[in-house]
Amino acid sequence: MVKKIYFQSIFFGFFLIKDALAAESGGMPQLNPEFWVSQIFWLILTFGVMYLVLSKLILPKISNNLESRKSQILENIEAAEKQREDSDAKLKEYDEIISKSKLEANSIFNQAREKALKDIGAKRDVLDKQIENEITEAEKEIDALRKNAPDKINKIAIETSSELLQKLIGAEVNNSSISAIVDDLFKRNGDKYYGN
Amino acid sequence: MAANPMSQFDVYRIGPEIKVGAFDISFTNASLFMILSTVSILLIFNLGSKKNSILPNKIQLLAELSYTFVSKMISDTAGSKAKPYFAFIFSLFMFVLFCNMFGMIPYTFTVTSHIIVTFVLAAFIFIGVTVIGFIKHGFGYLKLFVPSGVPAVLLPLIVVIEIISYLSRPISLSVRLFANMMAGHTMMKVFGGFVISLGIVGGWLPLSFSVALTGLEILVAFLQAYVFAILTCIYLNDALNLHH
């Protein structure tokens, strides 16, 4: 249906064109030379003026703009590249400094540790010696005390026994006989009393 | 009358008749649209070149894109020697493009649909290219008609064919543009006439055709301007770099 209308319309149309062309005396207005000279004149005038203005004023400006933009972009790229290189170098420097300082810190730490260890060792030695000295002295004292203790105890025992006897019996007893008894006791029971 | 698809190409006088000697150079609708085209070209490109900002605005971008488009076209087809002719080819391309595009607006006149206009442009290009060729190469330019590597027997025939093809350049160049513009506009007018004659019932089909044709014609308007400019570049290339 639509197709039919379409073909009909084209058919109709050709009739219309035919009628229209028949009505027109010249057919194509393009071939009518009446205004040819005028068209040539105005074409040369307008095109010439446009060409002059474009070539002398506008196009150089556009090319200038493009060139300056290009050069500026290139410059910027160069500057950016340079800055990148700079920053890379600085980063490297920074890394170096950091690694160097790390090493330094490590060595300082090690040194300090060694020193501290040494100090501690020395002090410990000194202290050990002191302690040893004190121990030996104390041992000596103890030994001395231990050696002296039986004598003193014997003496105390003798004196206490003589005084006890005097008070109990009321008579004076010879110290030498008491000491003989104490000595005898000491010889028999000394081990039990002094734990040697 | 609107029903006549050719009446859109009528040239008529606007204002008084101006005569210089025997020649009538009256201001016509064709002159009006030539002036409109050139003025809008100058306006757009003047605005587009005024400010030089790193980030171009729309009109500057338009101007610069056109500039690089044409300059790339020239350097691709005619090489670096064609640089001095850049301004001419740029003007030519823009002039034809704007005349074609102005013709796409309803009720306007298409300057390039007149054989006399396109022929004057083509003839100027033809003469200019020939003169450039003879200046650059002297009589060696005639070697253009003698292609290398052709058997001697065929040479007379080939030379005749080459000369005919060279001489027909302005005709083919001008008729191509004129015929394309005229045919397209006539066709659109015919389909437009169908819409009216078929009325509300059957008019929709030619109307849709008209819409499609409008798109096609805009493409053709650009393409013909491009073809016109690129053929000029090719002819210029023959004149500048004679490799045959």
Average pLDDT in the A79-100 region? 95
The answer to whether residue A29 neighbours chain B at the CB level (below 8 Å) is yes
Between CA A46 and CA B32 the distance in angstroms is 10
Yes or no, beta carbons of B28 and A38 under 8 Å apart? yes
Q: Report the pLDDT value the prediction gives residue A114, as an integer from 0 to 100.
A: 94
Q: Measure CB to CB from residue B24 to each of A30, A37, A64 and give the nearest one.
A: A37
pLDDT level of residue B76 (50, 70, 90 thresholds): very high
- Return the DSSP state at B149: T
Residues 6+ apart with CB under 8 A from B144: B133, B162, B166, B238, B242, B244
Which of B:104-133 have CB within 8 Å of A? 111, 113-117, 120-121
| Cβ-based contacts of B90 with chain A (< 8 Å) | 54, 59
Check pLDDT > 60 for residue B72.
yes
Yes or no, beta carbons of A47 and B95 under 8 Å apart? yes
* Residue pair A23/B3 in contact by the 8 Å Cβ criterion: no
Q: Report the pLDDT value the prediction gives residue B244, as an integer from 0 to 100.
A: 54
Average pLDDT in the A97-118 region? 94
The answer to whether residue B29 neighbours chain A at the CB level (below 8 Å) is no
| Helices A36-53/B115-137 angle, 10° precision | 50
The answer to whether residue A71 neighbours chain B at the CB level (below 8 Å) is no
The answer to whether residue A35 neighbours chain B at the CB level (below 8 Å) is yes
Between A152 and B226, whose confidence is greater? B226
pLDDT level of residue A27 (50, 70, 90 thresholds): confident
Average pLDDT in the B215-235 region? 95
CA angle in degrees (0–180, nearest 5) for B70-B76-B77? 95
Which residue in this structure is represented by tokens 């050069």?
Answer: A71
Task: Quote the percentage of chain A above a pLDDT of 90.
Answer: 49
Between CA A135 and CA B116 the distance in angstroms is 134
Q: Report the pLDDT value the prediction gives residue B236, as an integer from 0 to 100.
A: 93
Nearest CA in chain A to B120: A40
**Looking at CA atoms only, how far is residue A90 from chain B in angstroms?**
31
Other beta carbons less than 10 A from residue B217's beta carbon: 22
Yes or no, beta carbons of B52 and A17 under 8 Å apart? no
Check pLDDT > 70 for residue A21.
no
Note if the pTM is more than 0.80: no
pLDDT level of residue A181 (50, 70, 90 thresholds): confident
| Cβ-based contacts of A41 with chain B (< 8 Å) | 23, 25
Check pLDDT > 90 for residue A93.
yes
Average pLDDT in the B77-86 region? 90
Specify the range with the lowest mean pLDDT, choosing from A31-35, B102-106, B212-216, B223-227. Answer: A31-35
Check pLDDT > 60 for residue A9.
no
CA angle in degrees (0–180, nearest 5) for A82-A84-A89? 95
Buried b (16+ CB within 10 A) or exposed e, A60-89: ebbbebbeebeeeeeeeeeeeeeeeeeeee
Q: Report the pLDDT value the prediction gives residue A186, as an integer from 0 to 100.
A: 76
pLDDT level of residue A8 (50, 70, 90 thresholds): low
Q: Report the pLDDT value the prediction gives residue B241, as an integer from 0 to 100.
A: 87
The answer to whether residue B87 neighbours chain A at the CB level (below 8 Å) is yes
The answer to whether residue A47 neighbours chain B at the CB level (below 8 Å) is yes
pLDDT level of residue A76 (50, 70, 90 thresholds): very high
Check pLDDT > 50 for residue A80.
yes
Burial class (CB in 10 A: 0-12, 13-18, 19+), B219: exposed
| Cβ-based contacts of A15 with chain B (< 8 Å) | none
- Mean pLDDT, chain A, rounded, equals 82
Whether this model's ipTM surpasses 0.95 comes out as: no
Residue-wise DSSP of A46-100: HHHHHHHHIIIIIHHHHHHHHHHHHHHHHHHHHHHHHHHHHHHHHHHHHHHHHHH
